[in-house]
Amino acid sequence: MRSRRVALLRPYSLRFHMDEEGLIQLVFFHGNYASSYPRFIEQLTRAACEEKWARGVECSCCGQRKGEPRKGQLISREGAK
């Protein structure tokens, strides 16, 4: 059962995003739509986005409090099976 759930989530990336109201949104983005990812992230964060889609877990506002760029990567399991 667990392996089936893992297989279903494998093509997705996960992004934690805090909206204007302070609510945390979980954004699952499928790799088949990778070409649309930069535009989607620009609309979500209201900031320029040059990053490409990659399978992993990210946070839209990590590092923001320290004056660093908005993009922060919590962990990356690139190539993990």
Which residues constitute the domain of residue 66?
2-75
Return the number of other C-beta atoms located less than 10 Å from residue 41's C-beta: 24
pTM (two decimals): 0.67
Residue 33 lies in a domain: yes
Residue 52 lies in a domain: yes
Q: State the Cα–Cα distance between residues 58 and 53, nearest whole angstrom.
A: 11
Residue 51 lies in a domain: yes
Residue 66 lies in a domain: yes
Residue 22 lies in a domain: yes
Check residue 34 and give its pLDDT.
94
Q: Which residues contact 42 (CB under 8 A, 6 or more apart)?
A: 48, 49
Check residue 11 and give its pLDDT.
94
Check residue 76 and give its pLDDT.
46
- Give the number of domains in the chain: 1
